[in-house]
Amino acid sequence: MSNSNPNNRNRHAPSPPEPKPMPPSSWAKKTGFRPKLSGETNVTDSGPITTPPPNVDLEAGRVRTPATANGVTNGDKAPVPVPPPPAAAKKRRDSDGVPKSSVLSTNGQAPAAEPPPRRTARHEEVVDGLPADDDEFVSRHSHMKYELRDSPGLVPIGVYGIQHYFSILGSLVLIPLVIVPTMGGTHEETSMVVSTVLFVSGVTTLLHIAFGSRLPLIQGPSFVYLAPALAIINSPEFQGLNENKFKHIMRELQGAIIIGAAFQTLLGYTGLMSLLVRLINPVVISPTIAAVGLSFYSYGFPLVGTCIEIGAVQILVVIVFSLYLRKISVLGHRIFLIYAVPLGLAITWAFSFMLTEAGVYSYKGCDANIPASNMVSEHCRKHFSRMRHCRVDTSQALKSSSWFRFPYPLQWGTPVFHWKMAIVMCVVSLISSVDSVGSYHASSLLVASRPPTPGVLSRGIGLEGLASVLAGLWGTGTGSTTLTENVHTIAVTKMGSRRAVQLGACFLIVLSLIGKVGGFIASIPEVMVAGLLCFMWAMLTALGLSNLRYSEAGSSRNIIIVGLSLFFSLSIPAYFQQYGISPNSNLSVPSYFQPYIVTSHGPFHSKYGGLNYVLNTLFSLHMVIAFLVAFILDNTVPGSKQERGVYVWSEAEIARREPAVANDYELPLKVGRIFRWVKWVGL
């Protein structure tokens, strides 16, 4: 077929200049595979340059002859002249003095003699720090302000590091604001848990960047752990507790998290994750992570509706900032896009404060601090919900918190271990690892010279397990994992320096020692928390589905698999959650927590109570069903590697002899020597 192409025949004419190989210009730059249908030239480490096959127009259902420019297929467009690179471009040198342009710059591609010129064909627009189309991904380094090993100076990395954490503030602090009140914790206990979360997040981020994957990824409480934590909190055995309910449930959560984290550590450091990752591809990761965000639909807007004028304003402000004002830059920073969550929270909080001071939520003879059950007046009971959710002065967290407090291990007591809760957390830690696989790959495409090796990936998962052990010992209420939103933040802020994230982690540790910071965060009104969570969960759903860009998103095979996974991830848990509940039943928990009491009424009713607990809980979790359906279908339904978007990781032997890859992922302080005998967790 290639002989019929006139361009290929002309290539064998006497003494023409050999076309310079360029990295392929679509999905292959992300996966490293040679495409069968795209008609692009692929360069491997050892193989020759292959003649491109004719391009197939999948939409029109016909074969079209590709035009080429400088040896690179340009679809059906005519060749476009390439402008010379800017003379003032400054090349960053590696620690060994090798210019960055002399090493790999794309996923799995061989080094070129010269840096490939940037094409000026279609898709010149850059969106949120990422190329607007996969065809422009080869020039990603020109869109990053600072790459993985860049160290521009203390002030710039300090500013960008703090910015990095403020941009994902919601992901760090909102989970404690949900689970602690559900556990019966006071405002003071909520502020203590928030401070603990900030401290553990800073410490585990430093550990992960130094000894884990070495990518600039923030570790923190993941939404993956929120649903199982709520299921454990709402277990039947805890419903009758009144005294010390918070500490009792927290110790149960700590025990389950520690066991699940130990399983994740074993999964990583034994190399089992590098074997399992061969079966985990974008078609599996996308619906799994999307199901995490979709699973909280019953919590989001129902709680926003308790004070609709505040909650709706919160959602609208964040949407306006992140979408309609996202292009506005101030001093080179897209402040409305980067700080959409903290800015939206500040504006809505000020709006609610003015309404509270104006007396809009003041009712004669009523006190918002008196429980509704103790109110004598029917008038006060009628307006209790609005006073509790709309006023900003009902929380005493800021006043009751101390100025200085050092979070310490086992501050809530000795963890309690129950095997049924531990099994649930082991399954959740596996799904958390699946989430991290996608984050490692996506972030490496932005900031590193090549994707990590399977050993680096296993090393990162193993350290995430150790980080969750620390989270369990300190008592954060959830496990620790790579925040999915972090990849989006890297693309938006164009900051990929690991030093910036490390300095920001140190800043986070300092903030955690100031008790008033935790008290201030704990005093955020509940309805505002729900409004922010609506936005965060929607973002998480979209980020999960965005993994499909590494596969053939238009393939009928993938469409059916993702569609089935998402539908059954909502429908099967709904069956378990609604089983045995009559429409008029009087439940002891709010309606938005009813999906998490399934252990008391699920369809599994064997004589083994612990087994019933595990099965009813796991099959009521949306992400578990999405993962099972997608995992089974993607690995049993035939499909090409290109169609599935199979992740390709750097080979260990190639990585060791390439200075840029070694400097990106090699452990510091010669710690890597420890792993020379353990190849499955080394470079």
Helix (DSSP H) and strand (DSSP E) numbers for the chain: 27, 8
- Whether residue 432 lies inside any domain: the answer is yes
- Whether residue 101 lies inside any domain: the answer is no
Q: Which amino acid is at 415?
A: P
- Whether residue 74 lies inside any domain: the answer is no
Distance of CA 661 to the CA centre of its chain: 24
In three state form, how does the secondary structure of 202-246 look?
HHHHHHHHHHCCCCCCCEEECHHHHHHHHHHHCCHHHCCCCCCHH
Name the percent of the chain in helix, strand, coil, to the closest 5: 60, 5, 40
- Whether residue 380 lies inside any domain: the answer is yes
From residue 593, how far is each of 10, 231, 571, 641, 671 by CA, in Å?
69, 9, 17, 41, 46
Q: Quote the CA–CA distance of 45 and 40 in Å, as a whole number.
A: 16
When comparing pLDDT for 147 and 637, which is higher? 637
Contact 502, 214 (CB under 8 A): no
Question: For 525-532, what is the mean pLDDT?
Answer: 89
The pLDDT tens digits for 533-585 are: 999 999 999 999 999 999 998 899 999 999 999 999 999 999 998 887 766 56
Residues 6+ apart with CB under 8 A from 434: 280, 284, 285, 288, 627
3-state secondary structure (DSSP) of residue 275: helix
Residue that has been written with the tokens 């039943």 in this structure: 585
Residue that has been written with the tokens 């090393």 in this structure: 459
Confidence of residue 254 (pLDDT cuts 50, 70, 90): very high
Contact 595, 620 (CB under 8 A): yes
- pLDDT higher than threshold 60 for residue 32: no
The pLDDT tens digits for 370-410 are: 665 555 577 777 777 777 788 887 777 888 888 899 999 99
Q: Quote the CA–CA distance of 571 and 622 in Å, as a whole number.
A: 9
- Give me the helix-helix angle, 226-233 and 245-269, nearest 10°: 140
Neighbours of 10 (CB within 10 A): 10
In three state form, how does the secondary structure of 113-149 look?
CCCCCCCCCCCCCEECCEECCHHHHHHHHHHCCECCC
Q: Domain tally for the chain?
A: 1
When comparing pLDDT for 681 and 196, which is higher? 196
- 34-48, 242-256, 442-456: range with lowest mean pLDDT: 34-48
Question: For 30-48, what is the mean pLDDT?
Answer: 39
- 329-333, 497-501, 628-632: range with lowest mean pLDDT: 329-333
3-state secondary structure (DSSP) of residue 5: coil
- Whether residue 219 lies inside any domain: the answer is yes
Of the candidates 116, 149, 96, 141, the residue with the CA atom closest to the CA atom of residue 446: 141
CA torsion 272-276-277-283 (nearest 10°) is -160
Report the pLDDT value the prediction gives residue 60, as an integer from 0 to 100.
39
Q: Quote the CA–CA distance of 50 and 47 in Å, as a whole number.
A: 8
Structure tokens at 620: 């009521």
Rg (CA), the chain: 27
Report the pLDDT value the prediction gives residue 494, as an integer from 0 to 100.
83
3-state secondary structure (DSSP) of residue 73: strand
| Mean pLDDT comparison of 16-30, 200-214, 366-380, highest-scoring range | 200-214
Report the pLDDT value the prediction gives residue 179, as an integer from 0 to 100.
92
Domain that holds residue 568: 154-651
- Whether residue 534 lies inside any domain: the answer is yes
CA torsion 357-361-363-365 (nearest 10°) is -70
- The continuous run of DSSP H or E covering 62 comes out as strand 62-64
The pLDDT tens digits for 442-472 are: 999 889 888 999 999 999 999 999 999 999 9
- Whether residue 79 lies inside any domain: the answer is no
- Whether residue 31 lies inside any domain: the answer is no
- pLDDT higher than threshold 70 for residue 212: yes
The pLDDT tens digits for 300-358 are: 888 888 888 899 999 999 999 999 998 888 877 788 888 888 899 999 999 988 988 88
Residue that has been written with the tokens 């190329």 in this structure: 131
Q: Which amino acid is at 621?
A: L
3-state secondary structure (DSSP) of residue 2: helix
Q: Quote the CA–CA distance of 155 and 499 in Å, as a whole number.
A: 12
